[in-house]
Structure 1
């Protein structure tokens, strides 16, 4: 509540707030403020304007939510969210003319609860052979391995759909490890080794999985991560979903060794030398990864070029604050002491598609602060999605608000803008911007 949480999803505040006030952990004014904010939103929504059914939005139901337009939007979100992690050859997209018979294998290859639909159903233009391989995602034994290996050895290509579901990870259910559950890894390796054609590994999960074994397996030329798509692919698209990969990973994929010193449920962000804790998320963790945050390759190749960007930015101080230690402590300016309005960096980036396929590309801009003791050591400061036809290029303008996105939080919780050379990373391209305190001009009489 001190951090701005006015209403939590659950009964915690309702159960414990009164006791917290009695013990002096909370002030009644804090509770009143949170309540006022919550009621203010309800008033704006018209919840106190009389009989709800008589208002414009008083009779909304499933028919208003699950419209064809909404269904298509959900499907498009699922398509755009697919992340291509590996594509040697390239092996994807699969050609339906070349691969007439496809084996679809894995505990998540024919599920409804995991993705709300038949994930790996088969279109009418190919012959498919389906085998579970494991009874469910726990994959407790190898009783179904033999049949899965047999069909993989006969098919022109194999799609292995493995991963997690809500029996493994969900609200109030945290994973203790980062590897595939049970004997799924064994199933993947054995099927891939026996497959007559390419093996495409499809991962379904809500969090990272250590699949370094598959990343390094020459029998597995392609890997995709779908998250939990939340929508069934139409019959005619149940194989061609493989053509839509273009997303980026929304989290860091750690190796299993990440859990060497502390359990996965440790939620601290910053690293700690005393405990051996390596830190969490790409912003604080500097160790080895299976795949980094923001990773995702494409079916085509993009090249980035900085068309224009400033090299020096001057930070003017608010006249109400005198220049001193509190303002410029540690060669950094307090955000509250800077004139932040319209203080932004405009970067123009040329994105060129060198491939033979059209594509939608997500441009990610990361910032690294000057050398020193600043954390986070890296952070995403801007992103933009752009469609680039084959062998064409597009110019993208990105504005980066200096006070919001190039500032850091010191150990005292004060947000500051470090002075010095900040690095902007866009793909393989790097641009440096020197941030300096604006010099006060002296007026001579």
Structure 2
């Protein structure tokens, strides 16, 4: 059933009014032109909406019965037989056109264009060209950033989130708004708290990272019918390997050479990827930008063909990080020509390029004798086998498993509640001491607060009313936001002061903040960072809180007549020893980037509806 957006209804109303006005004007009136423009706009939006409701798939035998004669369209046959048949039918030009993330397909065989690049790090994301939100599906459930979810140490939670994300992804695919291949999770090791992308990872521990990766992959990929040869969506463990710097004091990820001992490789960097394959049966692995011991990862046959494909037996495809082949040539100067770059990567075991270099230069690499067409066939076999496991070549997906999913299955109340629960389980208490001031009776700790004892709660800080900040990076449009201020205001009367214009806190409104803190029964300070401080392509130079945040915290705490709760919202760790040592700061919570329901989860912890964890996966300071 076609749902007409409100905007299109308004267009129709305007058109009807225009018709009425036209009746009272001469034939020389400007209204016919105006009417024509509106009509065109209306029809264009209708066309966009209708096209957005049709998923992309091959072997549409309903529209083209002749396709049923192709072996690769016969879903009763095994995948190997079908893939072999498909690859044999393709011309060399068609083969090469299918080696990039923007695959051109083969129209004469009923194979449409397909965009491989979609992201689902902690919810269906608009990062990457494979996903779109519109009036039909304006948002998807945005779970906490991975670093916070991992702090729950709850494998069943990791897998459950994956199941919800894949259900919403399938629902969006069925209406033409998403793909079937998702380049998530990130299972790199977060060794240095200054790394901007550490927030995307499960932390610094290889064991926890391995457990998280395998569980999330299972949640994304496993079908409800238990068919292990088929996939709900295809996930990808990235970035292989030893990648943990983006842009730090002139050191760029594009030219970084990680010098790694064999012991460190075996003990630290390899386990998460091996576990993704052995326990998660992941459908893809992405090689990284950097070099390892002088060799680009996307051109290292020992890593790709030798380890991922050979030793670990990946059942899927190997893809580059975006434009990694260009980086190998332009930034690292590892190869002399683009064709040498193509040959090195394909001969090393690469199957797919996020970017266009394989599509641009593979033909000339073959002509120069640097790579054989059989190598292209191997790559396409891995790629097409993945799509076949997803049902992409099985005809109309609405007639297949998960074909009944649609917009109604995105942002359900249960999914939104799971986002809140995930944030609750991940929040970590770093400090909780007795309040020496008279409050809630004798021997009262900073947390939990009792709403009945608070007539006024001061909520202060640049992240106190944060919304989009709570999502972290690789985010999508959320179902809705609940900021910390909004979450706290449900239970008590609040007064709010940002204290800084943004998290960089170049200038702090200390006196204004002290004034409202002094008049309140308790204070919650919500500080930390956002994507302007730490993100992909932006590492931090140090671990001190930005700008005048520390000054604001200590000054506000000094005038409070009741408990002072410090909440740190961030991806990486910080040096907050000053807050641990300050007797005026009674409790400290780390809340990561807690997702769309983060404010509600923070309030649940502060008011004692959920007991926070004391197990941590980052180094802040000595909180023993």
50, 54, 74: which one aligns with 2:419 = 74
- Could you tell me which of 104, 109, 113 is aligned with 2:459? 104
What are the equivalent positions in structure 2 for 1:26-425 lying under 5 Å apart? 26=345, 28=347, 30-32=349-351, 36-58=381-403, 60-89=405-434, 90-115=445-470, 116-121=481-486, 122-142=488-508, 144-232=509-597, 239-242=603-606, 243=608, 244-247=610-613, 251-254=617-620, 289-291=621-623
- How far is 1:231 from its partner? 2.1
Number of equivalenced pairs:
256
The structure with higher relative contact order (CA 8 Å, sep 6+) is 2
Q: Note the C-alpha offset of 1:82.
A: 0.7
- Name the one with the larger helix percent: 2
After the TM superposition, list the runs of 4 or more consecutive aligned residues in structure 1 that deviate by more than 6 angstroms.
Answer: none
How far apart are 1:36 and its partner, in Å?
Answer: 4.2
More deviation in 170-179 or 82-91?
170-179
Matched residue SS, 1:215:
helix
1:149–1:234: structure 2 CA closer, same or farther, 3 Å change rule?
A: closer
Which consecutive residues of structure 1, in runs of 5 or more, have no partner in the other structure?
255-288, 296-445
Note the C-alpha offset of 1:107: 0.4
Give me the whole-angstrom Cα distance separating, in 1, the residues matched to 2:602 and 2:622. 28
Superposed displacement of residue 176, structure 1: 1.6
RMSD: 2.9
SS at match of 2:531: coil
Measured in 1, the distance between the counterparts of 2:557 and 2:523 equals 8
Query: 1:12 maps to which residue?
Result: 324
Shift of 1:8: 4.2
Measure how far apart 1:56 and its partner are: 3.5
Q: Displacement of 1:6 after TM fit?
A: 1.4
| CA 88–46 in structure 1, closer or farther in 2 if over 3 Å, else same | same
Question: C-alpha displacement at 1:68, in angstroms?
Answer: 1.2
Per the TM alignment, residue 106 of structure 1 is displaced from its structure 2 partner at its CA by 0.4
| TM-score where L is the length of structure 1 | 0.52
C-alpha distance after superposition, 1:331-370 (max 9, x if no partner): xxxxxxxxxxxxxxxxxxxxxxxxxxxxxxxxxxxxxxxx
Deviation at 1:77, TM superposition (A): 0.4
The structure carrying a bigger strand percent of its residues is 1
Q: Gaps spanning 5+ residues in structure 2: where?
A: 1-297, 309-316, 330-336, 352-377, 435-444, 471-480
- TM-score after normalising by structure 2: 0.38
Q: CA separation of 1:150/1:252 partners in 2, compared to 1, >3 Å: closer, same or farther?
A: same
